[in-house]
C-alpha cells in the first residue's frame, strides 16, 4: 500500500456543502499530509505486535494457512502468467498505476511492471479475465487487501524502502525466477532468494530491497493480507483498509489499471 498523489499525501474531495462558495458546483480538492495519521495508527498497532521486536518472516502454515491454497495452485498460476506475458506486449510500470511508488519504481534502471488483480475490494475485470484460475485460488484467502503480479526486468533492482503500514503482511509466490544468479530480497538485513513455486510471508514495514543482477525476468505473485490483531485493533484495521483505503488508494489504483487495460484493448482492435 502507498500514498496517493505523491509520497505522503492523500487527495480528498469534500461534499459540496463543505466547499467554498466559488467551488460549490465541483467540490474542493485538498491535499492532506497522511504521515501524522499513519504514525498514530502504527503506534497503536505497535502496542499489540511488539513494534521493535516483531518478526520479519512468518511461517505460512502457522500464521496464514489459507495462503497455502495459492501456493498449491502454482502450476496453473505460472501457466496463466506465461500466457499473459506472451499476449501483453507491454504492462504498466508500478508508478503508472500507483504514483506514490515512483521513488522506488523509477529510480533504478529498467522496468518494474505490475498486473493488478484485486485492490481493497476493487477487481479490474479485464485483468482478472486473463487469469481466472489465479483469481479462483485467491478467492480462498480471507482478509485479502490486494493481489498483483510483480515483474522485474532482467537486472532491475529496487532500492531500500519500507511499507507504510503495520496492518498487513505480504506474501510472495515465486512464479518466474532466473535459474542462474537469482535475485535476492533483503528484509530487515535478512536475505531471501526466490524460488519458483515457493512462497514467503514477511512484514514489509521493515526496510527491504531487491538486489538483482540476473539476466532474466523475475515475477512473483504478491498478496497482502490483514495482520491478525485483537478485536478493537482489528476493527480499526478493517475500517482503514475497507473504507478509507478502498475509497482513496484502492479506487485510484484500480481505475489506472482498468484504463491501461482498456487502452490496450482499443489498440488491439485498431490493429485488427
Task: Confirm if 196 and 175 have CB atoms less than 8 A apart.
Answer: yes
| Structural domains of the chain, count | 1
Tell me the pTM.
0.88
For residue 1, the 8-state DSSP code is -
pLDDT of residue 1: 60
Domain that holds residue 153: 57-226
Express each pLDDT in 168-216 by its tens digit.
999 999 999 999 999 999 999 999 999 999 999 999 999 999 999 999 9
Closest to 236 (Cα-Cα) out of 57, 40, 9: 40
Which three-class secondary structure state does DSSP give residue 245?
helix
- Domain-located, residue 257: no
Residue 145 counted as domain residue = yes
Among 178, 211, 221, residue whose Cα is nearest residue 74: 221
Would you say residue 266 lies in a domain?
no
> Residue 31 has what pLDDT?
52
In a domain, 139, yes or no: yes
Low-confidence ranges of the chain (pLDDT < 70): 1-34, 267-272
The enclosing domain of 88 has a CATH number of 2.60.120.330
Give domain status of residue 175, yes or no.
Answer: yes
- Is there a domain that residue 128 lies in? yes
28 is a domain residue: no
Whether 1 is covered by a domain: the verdict is no
What's the pLDDT at 37?
84
Residues 178, 214 contacting (CB under 8 angstroms): yes
Alpha helices (H) along 228-272: 231-239, 251-271
Calculate the CA 254 to chain-centre distance: 11
| pLDDT value at residue 268 | 62
Distances (CA, A) of 63 to 23, 169, 200: 49, 10, 11
Q: Give 140-178 as a DSSP string.
A: T-TTEEEEEEEEEPTT--EEEE--S-TTEEEEEEEEE--
b/e per residue 81-96 (b: at least 16 CB within 10 A): beebbeebeebbbbbb
Amino acid at each position: 500500500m502507498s500514498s496517493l498523489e505523491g509520497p505522503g499525501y492523500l487527495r480528498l474531495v469534500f461534499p459540496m456543502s463543505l466547499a467554498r462558495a466559488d467551488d460549490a458546483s465541483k467540490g474542493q480538492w485538498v491535499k492532506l499530509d497522511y504521515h501524522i495519521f499513519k504514525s498514530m495508527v502504527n503506534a497503536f498497532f505497535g502496542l499489540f505486535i511488539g513494534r521493535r521486536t516483531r518478526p520479519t518472516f512468518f511461517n505460512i502454515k502457522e500464521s496464514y494457512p489459507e495462503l497455502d491454497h495459492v501456493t498449491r495452485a502454482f502450476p496453473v498460476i505460472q501457466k496463466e502468467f506465461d500466457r499473459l506475458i506472451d499476449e501483453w506486449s507491454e504492462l504498466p510500470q508500478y508508478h503508472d498505476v500507483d504514483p506514490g511508488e515512483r521513488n522506488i519504481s523509477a529510480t533504478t534502471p529498467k522496468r518494474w511492471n505490475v498486473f493488478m488483480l484485486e485492490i481493497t475490494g476493487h477487481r479490474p475485470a479485464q485483468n482478472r479475465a486473463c487469469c481466472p484460475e489465479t483469481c479462483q485460488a485467491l478467492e480462498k484467502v480471507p482478509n485479502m487487501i490486494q493481489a498483483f503480479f510483480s515483474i522485474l526486468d532482467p537486472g532491475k533492482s529496487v532500492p531500500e524502502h519500507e511499507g507504510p503500514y503495520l496492518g498487513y503482511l505480504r506474501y510472495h509466490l515465486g512464479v518466474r525466477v532466473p535459474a542462474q544468479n537469482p535475485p535476492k530480497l533483503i528484509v530487515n538485513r535478512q536475505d531471501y532468494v526466490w524460488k519458483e513455486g515457493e512462497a514467503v510471508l514477511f512484514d514489509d514495514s521493515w526496510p527491504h530491497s531487491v538486489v538483482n543482477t540476473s539476466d532474466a525476468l523475475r515475477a512473483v505473485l504478491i498478496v497482502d493480507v490483514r495482520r491478525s490483531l485483537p478485536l478493537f485493533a482489528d476493527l480499526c484495521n478493517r475500517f482503514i483498509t475497507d473504507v478509507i483505503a478502498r475509497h482513496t488508494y484502492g479506487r485510484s489504483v484500480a481505475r489506472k489499471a482498468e484504463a491501461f487495460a482498456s487502452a490496450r484493448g482499443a489498440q488491439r482492435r485498431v490493429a485488427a
